[in-house]
Amino acid sequence: MTIDADRAAELFAAATDFTVGIEEEFAVLDALSLDLAPRFEELRDTAAAGDPLLSESIAGELISSEIEIRSGRGEDLADALARQRDLRQRLFTLAGARGIALGATGTHPWSDYREQHNIDTEHYHRVVDGLQYVARRNNTFSMHVHVGVHGADRAIRVCDRLRPVLPLLLAISANSPYIDARDSGLHSGRSQTFTKSFPRCGIPDSFGSWAAYKDYVDFLVNTNSIVEYTQVWWSIRPHFSFGTVEVRICDAQSTAQEAEALTGLIVAAVAQAARDEDENVPTTAFGGGVEVPAANGAQRQRRAIAAGADMREVYAAAVKETRETYVQEAKAA
């Protein structure tokens, strides 16, 4: 397997600014107990038999109790949201008919990672074989947004400009207070489990140019650190297959409205960074060094905890929000 940076540069040269792709990861759950249920393959095979569009748009992740839906390339934000709403409707209908619920928080509160089945693909076998405990421990759920950016050098500099924005995006998306059946004391337990543990993860260095970025990727290949580009798990990255800047730092969102607002904010941030790059606007520190409020899903869960709800009640409420809002948004469209 090779990593073709020159081909990726060609994709960026042909890319259209501000196309949008959305990827949302859901926990696959038993509808009664809300335990993680290793039924991705069942959903995949059922979709393949009866819903070609959904079949092309779902993907497996590390564990069989996780499923991802992908909007594909939207010409703009509105187009991507319309595509994703349709896919949500299809997925939730399919899952509900088979006694499966879908959860959308950054972690599953009480799942035991040792009991989860890893998905049977070459990529994830490579991940688990290479990272062992770190990979098996990672039962997390996120949302990723791809935004088209024309030009490889420009895409790298857009990533550089967005580095100070990434912590804010994590703060407002934080939605995972529980890990291993305990209140972690964090708002994003996912970022601790995944971002703090996986290699080549978190906020990357500033590279300045495609040539410098290519040199670093070549270094990773030459030192046998990676054999495929998707082993670069940074919170923002130029995607070698799509000609997009991919923002990957956010927790999964429990409501469709939050997911869509967050998607719009990410698209706007990428577009502003590209505009600033084009106009040679100096890069400045973000936020002015002062504390500002950042509402997120974790705070909603904590309010329920403070009111006396236990862990299972808190998660059940989040799953209910997900079922009602994601399907409702699809119907409204």
Token pair 């490579």 in the structure block, residue: 126
Q: Tokens at residue 82, please?
A: 């319309």
Q: Residue 247 pairs with which residues in a beta bridge?
A: 145, 236
Q: State how far the Cα of 164 lies from the Cα of 155, in Å rounded to an integer.
A: 16
pLDDT in tens, 49-97: 999 999 999 999 999 999 999 999 999 999 999 999 999 999 999 999 9
User: Nearest Cα to 113, choosing from 170, 171, 63, 70?
Assistant: 63
What pLDDT is stored for residue 1 in this prediction? 47
What is the DSSP secondary structure assignment for residue 245, as one 8-state letter?
E
Tally of structural domains, the chain: 1
Token pair 């990773």 in the structure block, residue: 220
Residue 290 has pLDDT above 90, yes or no: no
Cβ-based neighbours of 193, under 8 Å, separated by 6 or more: 107, 137, 138, 139, 140, 179
Global confidence as pTM: 0.95
Q: State how far the Cα of 333 lies from the Cα of 324, in Å rounded to an integer.
A: 14
Q: Tokens at residue 169, please?
A: 């995006």
* Burial call 258-293: b when 16+ CB within 10 Å, e when fewer: bbbebbebbbebbbebbebbeeeeeeeeeeeeeeee
What pLDDT is stored for residue 114 in this prediction? 94
| Cα dihedral 278/284/285/291 (nearest 10) | -90
275: pLDDT confidence band, cut at 50, 70 and 90? very high
- What are the distances in angstroms from CA 173 to CA 37, 121, 135, 185, 303? 25, 29, 23, 16, 16
What pLDDT is stored for residue 60 in this prediction? 94
**Hey, is 331 helix, strand or coil?**
helix
**Hey, is 24 helix, strand or coil?**
strand
Q: State how far the Cα of 29 lies from the Cα of 31, in Å rounded to an integer.
A: 6
pLDDT in tens, 18-49: 999 999 999 999 999 999 999 999 999 999 99
**Hey, is 120 helix, strand or coil?**
coil
Average pLDDT over every residue of 254-283: 97
φ, ψ at 292 (rounded to 5°): -130, 150
Q: Residue 188 pairs with which residues in a beta bridge?
A: 176
Write out the residue range of the structural domain in which residue 23 sits: 5-332
Token pair 């319309």 in the structure block, residue: 82
Answer yes or no: are the C-beta atoms of 319 and 313 closer than 8 Å: no
What pLDDT is stored for residue 289 in this prediction? 77
CATH code of the domain in which 146 resides: 3.30.590.20
